[in-house]
Structure 1
Amino acid sequence: MTRRFGADPAPGGLCLVQDLANSAHNRAAGLGDGLADRRAARGWLADALVTWAAQTGQAAPRLTLVEPDLAPLRQFRDRLRAWLGRRTDDFTVPARAVRVALRAGRPTYAPQGDGADGVVALVQAELLLAVHTGKFSRLKTCANADCAAVFYDTSADAGRVWHDDTSCGPQ
């Protein structure tokens, strides 16, 4: 979903947070909701987990989404997007289980639940890791209100405000 905005994925597992946020409908860009129905949501999840696995070097967890998962996952995504855009309010989500292990001296982690709970658990873990590693502050929402794409700021001073200076910046 992030690539549909022409943006690169955030590093590590933060790409999953970014991909979920970017799955929202964007009228100005003519982009549909990646969680609109079960078929779209399963496609989004499959693509997002392939990217997550490539970025983290872990095997993608086996997660499936069924119809009852969609409304809670959309609600979580919308709360996440609102929080990413403001970052002034607290963002609290009931705890979900994540299994953590050491394999060959390297930590691995995977959600214990399935469906929306599993996705939310993995997003929670990635948010925690990103804050801990200092990467979270570079995950931003494009200042162009018509766009509002979530992007990872790779600039030296972390001063970007638009995901794409050409299409979203001042004209």
Structure 2
Amino acid sequence: MSWMATERFGARTAPGGLAIVQELVNTHGVPRYGADLLAGHATAQQWLRAAAGQWAQDHGLEPPELSLSATDLDALRELRTVVREMLAIPPDERSTGPFHATGALPRAQVRLVSDERGRVAMVPVGTGASWLASAVWSQILLAQHDGAWSHVKLCRGPRCRTAFYDASRNGSAVWHNVRTCGNLANLRASRARRKDANQDPRQSP
């Protein structure tokens, strides 16, 4: 099992179960990395089973048997869009105050379980897209409460926007991979500076 969508980008993976949130966003297609994994039923089914299996493995659970219905593909894409829009908000602008029920939207259901030591956990319920929604929203909830949510970001590259986990001490990382998107941005900036320096002052407006 693996986080197949995130690994192809070479992005830092979020710790624990939070990685499934990042993994969903990273199913998007970027030409130099790969196609959209939710573009068709077969690839989406393969991805979902791998992601659910990795999540279950990380939690010490048996992998769920999941299959996508005819309507699940649209539901997965819609969920990806919603989560991507949440991550597009800069971490320092994301709401951190108390939850307000006014205007609340129903997202998913989970099952609460406890072990012999009284520790409580949330277990996703449902099949196909509903199972994934349950896993994704429960992990977002946990991440918002323990502070990890502010470390999940989208790459600054306008043609990339890959989700990555910022593990830097000051939370200043902006590229999912400095050697790829970071170097490309620096190269473009360097070329722009050289162009400005070589411009004939008489041609300036």
Q: Same fold (TM over 0.5)?
A: yes
Corresponding position: 1:74 with 2:82: no
> 2:91 aligned with 1:99, yes or no?
no
Given the superposition, is the C-alpha separation of residues 147 and 57 from structure 1 closer, same or farther in structure 2, using an over 3 Å criterion?
same
Asked which structure has the greater CA Rg, the reply is 2
Deviation at 1:30, TM superposition (A): 4.5
Of all paired residues, the percent bearing the same amino acid is 36
Aligned residue number for residue 26 of structure 1: 30
What is aligned with 1:122? 135
TM-score, normalised to structure 2, is: 0.75
Q: Under a length normalisation based on structure 1, what TM-score does the superposition of the two structures give?
A: 0.89
Measure the CA separation in 1 of the matches of 2:116 and 2:62.
Answer: 14
Worse overlay, 60-69 or 43-52: 60-69
Amino acid at match of 1:18: Q
Amino acid at match of 1:2: T
The structural deviation recorded for 1:9 is 2.0
Q: Which runs of 4+ in 1 moved over 6 A?
A: none
Pairs aligned (count): 170
2:122 maps to which of 91, 109, 118? 109
1:144 lines up with 2:157 in the alignment? yes
**Amino acid aligned to 1:46:** R
Distance (whole Å) between structure 1 residues aligned to residue 153 and residue 60 of structure 2:
24
Match of 2:169, SS state, is coil
Aligned to 1:7: 11
How many angstroms does 1:93 deviate by? 4.6
| AA matched with 2:15 | P
- Gaps of at least 5 residues in structure 2 are 96-103, 188-205
Contact 1:61/1:111 (CA < 8 Å) preserved in 2? no
CA distance in 2, matches of 1:153, 1:136: 10
Of 138-147 and 78-87, the range deviating more from structure 2: 78-87
**What secondary structure is seen at the aligned counterpart in 2 of 1:58?**
coil
Deviations 1:15-58 (A, max 9, x none): 0100000011223x241111122211111112212321233333
